């Protein structure tokens, strides 16, 4: 898959000025090639916008611990899975994207006997790379700074074949890494649809959070996708005729890792007007509601827009969150006061996949 195709999908220059989605903040369309990216932006785009017929259907994030205590404000704190778990995942599933400290601290790179290596002290990341392998015996003496133990990740970078060892380098096991994760794509689906675009908020309404969206979108529904935010999270998907009418289908699945996941229905369903409910014992992702014309996602040190902006909103009667008193329209003042910060929320992340 051509990386520039991904850039064009994430930063879609064809959007109308007031259309929902991720917009360039600069009028120069070539500026999108300087914005970089992350697995999260790729997943959020390719959930509903395919490249060559392929959609993202799964995205695991390998963390052993996430604190999701809810006290009126959403927040997460994650601890990366241990090395043995990451190595097992690499063997069983393939490469993992991971955050490292590289671009802002290139003095920590070192060339030893023809091998480019990286070790740093800080617990901070500024760059995404891909772990493609590992060597438990890679010597500690090969790194710029003192490292206590042997062992390193083999990393594929995105700076071209001229950097490192033909685009690769060795990263010490002792360096801090952030959010190792994988992306799975599939061409099993003919269409996908979601009201949500670039989701940024996590919402909880108790031990189980239930959200719903009402649709007038014809097709043969095969699977439903959403995010989870804790290990071992359980998702239940329910399909209702019309607006919360007769129950047509229900499916429950539990996922080992947090991330984006799809729940495949036991049987495909022909739908036209219907409601999809998602229930989770994790938090549920929402898009941040735009204030005025846009919400900037990146700013420079002076607070001016430096990269891209989100336009997102929900319409009355479109999306809901369940409370003890029943279903509450997310566009109401009550819903915004109870479940959103000062910026507000729009639609929950519910992705429909059609055969």
| Spans of all domains in the chain | 3-67+196-354, 95-181
| Angle value at C-alpha 126, between 43 and 347, nearest 5 degrees | 35
Q: Which residues contact 123 (CB under 8 A, 6 or more apart)?
A: 176
> Three-state DSSP class for 128?
strand
**pLDDT on residue 197:** 77
Question: In this structure, what DSSP letter does residue 338 have?
Answer: H
* Dihedral angle, C-alpha 142, 145, 151, 157, nearest 10 °: -80
- CATH level 3 topology of 95-181: Cathepsin B; Chain A (3.90.70)
DSSP lists the bridge partners of residue 125 as none
Task: Output the DSSP codes for 195-210.
Answer: S--SEEEEE--SSSEE
pLDDT in tens, 84-104: 999 999 999 999 999 999 877
pLDDT in tens, 99-156: 999 877 778 999 988 899 999 988 888 888 999 999 999 999 999 999 999 999 999 9
**28 Ramachandran zone, left/alpha/beta (phi>0; psi -120 to 50):** beta
Higher pLDDT, 242 or 7: 242
pLDDT in tens, 44-64: 888 988 888 999 999 999 987
For the chain, give the percent of residues with pLDDT over 70: 83
**In the predicted structure, residue 229 carries a pLDDT above the cut 60:** yes
**pLDDT on residue 299:** 45
Cβ pair 175, 120 in contact under 8 A: yes
**In the predicted structure, residue 37 carries a pLDDT above the cut 90:** no
**In the predicted structure, residue 246 carries a pLDDT above the cut 60:** yes
């Amino acid at each position: 898959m051509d990386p520039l195709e991904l850039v064009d999908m994430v930063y879609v220059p064809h959007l109308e000025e007031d259309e929902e989605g991720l917009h360039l903040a600069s009028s120069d369309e070539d500026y999108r090639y300087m914005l970089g990216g992350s697995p999260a932006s790729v997943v959020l785009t390719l959930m509903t916008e395919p490249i060559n017929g392929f959609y993202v259907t799964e995205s695991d994030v390998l963390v052993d611990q996430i604190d999701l205590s809810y006290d009126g404000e959403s927040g997460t704190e994650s601890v990366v899975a241990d090395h043995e778990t990451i190595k097992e995942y690499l063997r069983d599933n393939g490469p993992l994207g991971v955050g490292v400290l590289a671009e802002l601290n290139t003095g920590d790179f070192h060339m030893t006997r023809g091998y480019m290596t990286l070790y740093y002290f800080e617990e901070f990341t500024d760059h995404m790379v891909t772990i493609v392998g590992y060597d438990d015996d890679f010597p500690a003496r090969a790194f710029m700074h003192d490292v206590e133990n042997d062992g390193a990740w083999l990393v594929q970078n995105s700076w071209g074949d001229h950097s490192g060892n033909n685009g690769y380098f060795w990263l010490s096991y002792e360096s801090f890494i952030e959010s190792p994760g994988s992306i799975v794509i599939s061409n099993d689906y003919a269409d996908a649809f979601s009201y949500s675009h670039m989701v940024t908020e996590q919402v909880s309404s108790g031990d189980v959070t239930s959200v719903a969206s009402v649709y007038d979108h014809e097709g043969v529904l095969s699977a439903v996708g959403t995010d989870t935010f804790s290990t071992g999270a359980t998702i239940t998907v329910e399909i209702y005729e019309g607006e919360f009418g007769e129950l047509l289908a229900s499916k429950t699945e539990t996922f080992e890792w947090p991330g984006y996941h799809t729940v495949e229905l036991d049987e495909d369903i022909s739908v036209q007007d219907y409601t999809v409910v998602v229930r989770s014992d994790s938090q549920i992702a929402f898009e941040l509601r735009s204030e005025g014309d846009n919400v900037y996602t990146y700013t420079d040190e002076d607070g001016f827009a430096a990269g891209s902006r989100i336009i997102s909103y929900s319409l009355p009667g479109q999306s809901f969150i369940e409370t003890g008193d029943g279903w509450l329209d997310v566009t109401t003042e009550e819903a915004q006061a109870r479940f959103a910060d000062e910026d507000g929320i729009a639609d929950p992340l519910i992705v429909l996949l059609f055969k």
